[in-house]
Amino acid sequence: MEDLLTYLIKPLVSDIKKVKIEKVQEDNAVKFLISIPKKDIAKVIGKDGKMIKSIKNLLKIRAIKENVFASIEVQEI
């Protein structure tokens, strides 16, 4: 699922190397902590949060196929 997140976030940020994706796994749940530079965070969240909601929905679809619960938390660095 990390590859999917990287694929979705890569076109939105100016330098993908500055973006950090951490995976925290607990039983049947996976939480992704995404650290994004301050200048790119608005692009990732989008207007009214539409972009991040779309990313979360796509991740949920992938998680359902893998029988896990997935969530995303975005942090500014």
Three state DSSP letters for 58-69: HHHHHHHHCCCE
Residue 22 to residues 6, 36, 48, Cα–Cα distance (Å):
11, 12, 25
Class of domain 2-76: alpha beta
pTM, 2 dp: 0.82
15-74 residue pLDDT tens: 888 889 899 998 889 999 999 998 888 888 889 989 999 999 999 999 999 899 999 999
| Alpha helix positions (H), the chain | 2-9, 41-45, 50-65
Would you state the pLDDT for residue 59?
92
Domain positions in the chain: 2-76
